[in-house]
Amino acid sequence: MKIRYGGDRGTANFGWLDSRHTFSFGGYYDPEHMGFSSLRVLNEDRVQPGRGFGTHPHRDMEIISYVLSGALEHRDSIGNGSTIRPGDVQRMSAGTGILHSEFNASQTDPVHFLQIWIVPDRPGLRPSYEQKTFSEAEKRGKLQLVGSPDGRDGSVRIHQDVNLYVSSLKYGETVSYSVLPGRVAWVQIVRGSLMLGDRNLTAGDGVAVHETDVFTLAGTSDTAEVLIFDLP
Give a three-class secondary structure readout of the chain. CEEECHHHCEEEECCCEEEEECCCECCECCCCCCCECCEEEEEEEEECCCCEEEEEEECCCEEEEEEEECCEEEEECCCCEEEECCCEEEEEECCCCEEEEEEECCCCCCEEEEEEEECCCCCCCCCEEEEEECCHHHHECCCEEEEECCCHHHCEECCCCCEEEEEEECCCCEEEEECCCCCEEEEEEEECEEEECCEEEECCCEEEEECCCEEEEEECCCCEEEEEEEEC
Q: Is the pLDDT of residue 127 over 90?
A: yes
CATH code for the domain in which residue 116 is found = 2.60.120.10
Question: pLDDT of 159-201, one tens digit each?
Answer: 999 999 999 999 999 999 999 999 999 999 999 999 998 999 9
- pTM, rounded to two decimals: 0.96
Res 133: pLDDT: 97
With cut-offs at 50, 70 and 90, classify the pLDDT of residue 59: very high
Tally of domains in the chain = 1
Mean pLDDT to the nearest integer, 90-114: 97
Structural domain including 226 reads 2-231
